[in-house]
């Protein structure tokens, strides 16, 4: 079931349901990509029809930000729960180990993906990471060729929005991968470069505030969240007229 939130068609799934879907894609035929929009990404999509189409064509559109869940409530179309991209990614890892699927890490600053690979292999013994690459590349065809040569089944793409979603849609089908997941700054967390909010903060939807406390430079981006909710409220009022 799809839930429309300001033009973006979110899948109304729990984390468990999303993980099950993702694993089906990873072991199936053809190419699939997963996107994880937060309010900032939804705002970008509202201003760019082509980008919005890329999001809506994804095999899974997961509500990453708590602001998206709140907007759904305001619009009268409540989502089951927030599904953070990082939780989706870690949710599929144990089964990738069991099935021997090959994972490629793409994105972040030089050295971060490699460090993330080392950390993940310690946490998930037997995890087959077939390659890594930073996000500072200019030759898209070369990267696509590297993915094919690595025989990657799953690729975590951490190039930031909107680049990562556009890149997956354009180059994913020729990469040979079964599943790509757009994950923003997740490799920074996996590598240990950035610390994730404690579980209690996550539970109460305050992960954004924790990040703000530790990265004050994000204040400009965070200030847009109230405006996003106001936009949802205005859209709801128009529906009632």
CATH number assigned to the domain comprising residue 120 = 3.40.50.10700
DSSP assignment letter at 89: H
Number of structural domains the chain divides into: 1
Element (H, E) at 106: strand 102-107
Q: Determine contact, residues 224/43, Cβ cutoff 8 Å.
A: yes
Tell me the pLDDT tens digit for each residue of 26-36: 999 999 999 99
Q: Which domain holds residue 101?
A: 2-240
Tell me the pLDDT tens digit for each residue of 50-65: 999 999 999 999 999 8
Angle CA(167)–CA(117)–CA(212) in degrees, nearest 5?
A: 70
157 vs 231: which has the higher pLDDT? 157
């Amino acid at each position: 079931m799809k839930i429309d939130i300001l033009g973006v068609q979110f899948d109304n799934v729990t984390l468990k349901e999303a993980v099950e879907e993702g694993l089906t894609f990873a072991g199936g035929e053809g190419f699939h990509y997963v996107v994880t929009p937060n309010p900032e990404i939804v705002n970008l999509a509202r201003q760019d029809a082509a980008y919005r189409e890329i999001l809506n064509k994804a095999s899974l559109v997961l509500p990453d930000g708590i602001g998206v869940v709140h907007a759904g409530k305001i619009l009268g179309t409540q989502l089951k729960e927030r599904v953070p991209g990082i939780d989706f990614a870690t949710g599929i890892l144990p089964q990738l180990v069991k099935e021997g699927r090959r994972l490629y890490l793409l994105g972040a600053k030089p050295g971060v993906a490699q460090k993330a690979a080392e950390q993940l292999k310690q946490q998930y013994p037997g995890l087959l990471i077939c390659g890594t690459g930073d996000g500072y590349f200019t030759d898209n065809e070369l990267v696509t060729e590297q993915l094919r040569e690595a025989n990657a089944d799953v690729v975590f793409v951490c190039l930031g929005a909107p680049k990562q979603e556009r890149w997956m849609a354009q180059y994913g089908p020729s990469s040979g991968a079964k599943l790509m997941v757009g994950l923003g700054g997740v490799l920074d967390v996996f590598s240990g470069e950035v610390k994730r909010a404690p579980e209690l903060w996550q539970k109460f939807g305050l992960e954004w505030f924790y990040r703000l406390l530790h990265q004050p430079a994000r204040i400009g981006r965070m200030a847009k969240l109230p405006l996003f909710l106001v936009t949802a409220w205005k859209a709801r009022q128009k529906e009632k007229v």
